[in-house]
């Protein structure tokens, strides 16, 4: 399986799934030079959106990474929990909520549309909020990433020309 975050994002957008891209890839799009191919999304859990998400997950052959015989259902996607999936375009984590119970509705105002290629606009979590989430998690891996993320934010805020 060749991971292609762009192909995953295209599939989600073309199916008109409402979601916010979070995780390492959101930081990459904001300018943090990280290596990741995992796509982490917080979808709107409105029923119609979950139907669209479920349909596109079916097209992508999405299954649970630790139990590939299992496929996600509407009840899984409607939960605040994390669905760690593998698709034909790579790993996809569908996160009902992140941090202290923050879902799509709470995070939408802290995200912005970013063009990720060929007119494809994806709603991406702000770097500030991503850093705050990492700070709150406090795990070793999360802490290790913080200097790079903070420095990126600092550089991003400097006027360039």
Partner 1 sequence: MVSREGQPEGEAERGEDGVDVTLIRAFLELSPAERLKQCARWAADIRAMRQALDGGADDGG
Between the two ends of the chain, the Cα-to-Cα distance in Å is 41
Q: Least distance from C-beta 9 to partner 1, angstroms?
A: 9
Residues 17-56 within binding reach of partner 1 (CB under 8 A) = 25, 28-38
DSSP-derived secondary structure for 83-120: EEEEETTEEEEEES-BTTTB-HHHHGGGEEEEEEETTE
Interacting span for partner 1 (CB under 8 A) from 48-56, 96-104, 132-140, 147-155: 147-155
CB 74 within 8 A of CB 55: no
Residues 81-120: x where in contact with partner 1 by CB under 8 A, - otherwise, as a string: -----x---xx----------------------xxxxx--
C-beta closer to partner 1: residue 108 or 120: 120
Indicate whether 3 belongs to the interface with partner 1 (CB under 8 A): yes
Q: Which is nearer to partner 1, 47 or 118 (CB)?
A: 118
- Ramachandran sector of residue 128 (left: φ over 0; alpha: ψ -120 to 50; beta: rest): alpha
Q: Say whether residue 125 binds partner 1 (CB under 8 A).
A: no
132 binds partner 1 (CB under 8 A): no
Give the residue among 113, 97, 116 at the shortest CA–CA distance from 105.
Answer: 97
Binding residues for partner 1, rule: CB under 8 A, are: 1, 3-6, 25, 28-38, 65, 86, 90-91, 114-118, 147-148, 150-152, 155-156, 160
């Amino acid at each position: 399986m060749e991971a292609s975050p762009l192909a995953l994002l295209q599939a989600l957008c073309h199916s008109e799934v409402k979601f916010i891209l979070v995780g390492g890839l959101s930081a990459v799009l904001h300018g943090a030079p990280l290596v990741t191919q995992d796509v982490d999304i917080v979808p709107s859990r409105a029923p119609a959106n979950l139907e669209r998400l479920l349909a596109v997950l079916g097209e992508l052959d999405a299954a649970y990474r630790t139990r590939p015989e299992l496929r996600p259902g509407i009840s899984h996607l409607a939960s605040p929990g994390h669905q760690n999936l593998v698709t034909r375009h790579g790993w996809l984590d569908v996160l009902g909520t992140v941090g202290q119970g923050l879902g799509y509705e709470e995070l939408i105002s802290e995200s912005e549309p970013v063009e990720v290629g060929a007119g494809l606009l994806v709603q991406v979590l702000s770097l500030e909020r991503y850093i705050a989430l990492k700070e709150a998690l406090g795990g070793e891996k999360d802490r290790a990433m913080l200097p790079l993320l903070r420095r990126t934010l600092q550089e991003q805020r400097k006027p360039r020309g």
